[in-house]
Amino acid sequence: MAHELAGKKAPKEILENIDALLEAYYTNKPDVKEQTQKVSFGTSGHRGSSIKSSFNENHILAITQALCEYRKEAGITGVMHIGIDTHVLSTPAQITALQVFLANEVSCKIAVNKEYTPTPVLSFTILESNKNSKILNDGVVITPSHNPPSDGGFKYNMPNGGPADTDVTSLIENRANEILLNELKEVKTISKDEIFTSKFLELYDFITPYVKALDTIIDMDSIKEANIKIGVDPLGGSGLEVYKKIKDIYKIELDIVNEKIDPTFSFMSCDHDGKIRMDCSSPYAMSSLIALAEKYDIAFANDPDFDRHGIVTKSVGLMNPNHYLSVVIWYLFSSRNWKEDIAIGKTLVSSSMIDKVVNSLEKKLYEVPVGFKWFVEGLYEGTLAFGGEESAGASFLRKDGSVWSTDKDGIILNLLAAEMTSKLKKDPGKIYKEFEEKFGKSYYRRVDAPASFEQKVKLKNLSVEDITSKTLANEKIENIYTKASGNNASIGGLKVTTKNGWFAARPSGTEDIYKIYAESFIDEKHLELLIKEAQDLVSKSIE
């Protein structure tokens, strides 16, 4: 059940104390012997809170030194591009990282005029910088994505532009924790006063080249010619200046409904649990923009680092991310002349509506575990036209089939909604309704269930043989997976499918819960039964 504050403007009493967060960043010293205070790279880098001693100056000192050592061993000697979002801990973390990078004589580029840099803009920049370079360049995005204002995050992007894989992040993580245990003795630093006089630092305009190149991936002319009304809410995130530049360069009818940058995110509507969370796929967090739906032909928003998209239409309001991804795949293959044998990537917990659309297009589906990192190589090499995950993150190739970004790009996903609305004269919500008429209606949900650390370990290591049941929700079980069908990588849990439904279960990396994703193509009652039996089945397996 939703919290009483869900969808309502955040009251003053729940806003974060910014001064306390900043003070804790510098004064709290993590105890590396405490599991919750160690450096831990999940699917999107190291994340935590300064108050809880899980994201502090010492973490960033250790991670950055470990990253310098990794780059040296890997032969990466080019520019380290560093971007930040609008979370309050991002700026001090950037300063700390620069103190270490510059002391290690790593050439760094940061944004001019103290601007913020969206994740996709950084990915694009890394790829562009490596096109004609004899040395490899890479980058760091300092962001906890859509997480609450109290959180910080630090993510490493490889020379291929995408988030580092676990073989790299585990090396950095382990070395960083060693450095913390050794009381930071191996960390090289310069003083804060020396940062902006360092010969290894360059201030750079990340935004303009990205925006100027948008017409190589989106039909910006069709959007301008259609003169549709577009509403955009940056949700106080890092891409506000990107949208201003888009409006300036392409002269489209784009109305930025909220230009506030506020580290408390006081303008937000509360999420389902009453917390401030900049989740552009949440109808509660997005209630302000949803209320404006009738005013615009298409409207959209992004999370603070702009790797996620939120699409608001006149026909259905806020689109479910799974629904929109299905439409995107269909539209891209209806409007782009890509090579015939190119594949479409999805995470295994994304809707099976995507499978149905891909089958209708007679294309190859590439299903992978949760995490955008699994799409990086395919997008980079051009064997994947599209990679998308259930949490409103995706990217795709340019019109000529070449790589654009290898990290999630909420900006191009939003602009594509404007392109299809302009060219088809109907919004993506109407297109999805047509899918329901053709393929059936999807009933999809994610729920959380409590689990101890030991139980999460068991779930992560389940085998197919551990599941003895022959039926699920009154249907015969057709397949049980502990590895993804596309790349044979471990799910870190399991997926069970029947003719008209499926569920997947995965342990949370940060909380004492496991997540169940389920989908029915019958009805809501069948979905409820799927979830109940899934919980029973998983509980028995991890007792």
Compute CA distances 285 → 303, 392, 404, 471, whole Å.
10, 14, 29, 38
Assigned token pair, 489: 């990588």
Residue 390's SS3 state is coil
Is it the case that residue 345 has pLDDT exceeding 80? yes
Q: What is the pLDDT of residue 234?
A: 97
pLDDT in tens, 145-200: 999 999 999 999 999 999 999 899 999 999 999 999 999 999 999 999 999 999 99
Residue 503's SS3 state is strand
If you average pLDDT over every residue of the chain, what do you get? 96
pLDDT in tens, 195-245: 999 999 999 999 999 999 999 999 999 999 999 999 999 999 999 999 999
Q: What are phi and psi of 367, to 5 degrees?
A: -100, 130
Q: How confident is the model at residue 513 (pLDDT cuts 50, 70, 90)?
A: confident
User: What is the DSSP secondary-structure string of 181-211?
Assistant: HTTTTT-----GGGGGG-TTEEEE--HHHHH
Distance CA 332, CA 435 (A): 15
Distance CA 434, CA 329 (A): 14
Are the C-beta atoms of 174 and 191 separated by less than 8 Å?
A: no
Distance CA 352, CA 502 (A): 9
The beta strands (E) that lie in 324-376 are given as 343-347, 364-368
Residue 493's SS3 state is strand
CA 360 to chain centre: 28
**How many CB atoms within 10 Å of residue 466?**
16
Distance CA 233, CA 216 (A): 24
Q: What is the pLDDT of residue 43?
A: 72
Using only the alpha carbons of the chain, give its radius of gyration: 23
Q: Find the Cα–Cα–Cα–Cα dihedral 12, 15, 19, 21, rounded to 10°.
A: 170
Residue 497's SS3 state is strand
Mean pLDDT of 358-364: 97
| Sole residue written with tokens 């303008």 | 267
Distance CA 397, CA 49 (A): 35
Distance CA 347, CA 519 (A): 14
Are the C-beta atoms of 495 and 503 separated by less than 8 Å?
A: yes
Is it the case that residue 47 has pLDDT exceeding 70? yes
Instruction: List all residues 6 or more positions away from 178 whose beta carbon is below 8 Å from its beta carbon.
Output: none
Q: What is the pLDDT of residue 87?
A: 98
Q: How confident is the model at residue 363 (pLDDT cuts 50, 70, 90)?
A: very high
Residue 341 exposed, middle or buried by CB count within 10 Å (0-12, 13-18, 19+): exposed
pLDDT in tens, 366-395: 999 999 999 999 999 999 999 999 989 999
Distance CA 377, CA 317 (A): 34
Mean pLDDT of 405-420: 98
SS3 per-residue string spanning 228-294: CCEEEECCCCCCHHHHHHHHHHHCCCEEECCCCCCCCCCCCEECCCCCCCCCCCCCCCCHHHHCCHH
The model carries a pTM of 0.96
Q: What are phi and psi of 197, to 5 degrees?
A: -110, 0
Percent of the chain whose pLDDT exceeds 70:
99
Q: What are phi and psi of 128, to 5 degrees?
A: -65, -40
CA 53 to chain centre: 24
HSE value, Cβ hemisphere, 13 Å, CA-based, for 124: 29
Residue 417 exposed, middle or buried by CB count within 10 Å (0-12, 13-18, 19+): buried
Assigned token pair, 355: 């499978």
Instruction: List all residues 6 or more positions away from 364 whose beta carbon is below 8 Å from its beta carbon.
Output: 341, 342, 343, 344, 358
Are the C-beta atoms of 80 and 104 separated by less than 8 Å?
A: no
Q: What is the pLDDT of residue 512?
A: 79
Mean pLDDT of 448-475: 92
Is it the case that residue 508 has pLDDT exceeding 90? no
Give 255's strand partners.
Answer: 231
Nearest residue to 354 (alpha-carbon basis) of 319, 392, 388:
388
Q: How confident is the model at residue 1 (pLDDT cuts 50, 70, 90)?
A: confident
Instruction: List all residues 6 or more positions away from 363 whose beta carbon is below 8 Å from its beta carbon.
Output: 333, 342, 343, 344
Is it the case that residue 510 has pLDDT exceeding 70? no
How many residues appear in the chain?
543
Q: How confident is the model at residue 102 (pLDDT cuts 50, 70, 90)?
A: very high
Q: Which residues are catalytic?
A: 145
Distance CA 367, CA 224 (A): 36
Are the C-beta atoms of 142 and 85 separated by less than 8 Å?
A: yes
Residue 438 exposed, middle or buried by CB count within 10 Å (0-12, 13-18, 19+): exposed
Domains of the chain with bracketed CATH: 14-209 (3.40.120.10), 443-542 (3.30.310.50)
The beta strands (E) that lie in 341-474 are given as 343-347, 364-368, 384-389, 393-396, 443-450, 471-472
Distance CA 343, CA 73 (A): 34
Give 493's strand partners.
Answer: none
Distance CA 306, CA 302 (A): 5
Mean pLDDT of 507-512: 76
Which residue type is seen at 409? Answer: D
Is it the case that residue 44 has pLDDT exceeding 80? no
| Sole residue written with tokens 């995408």 | 162
pLDDT in tens, 113-133: 999 999 999 999 999 999 999
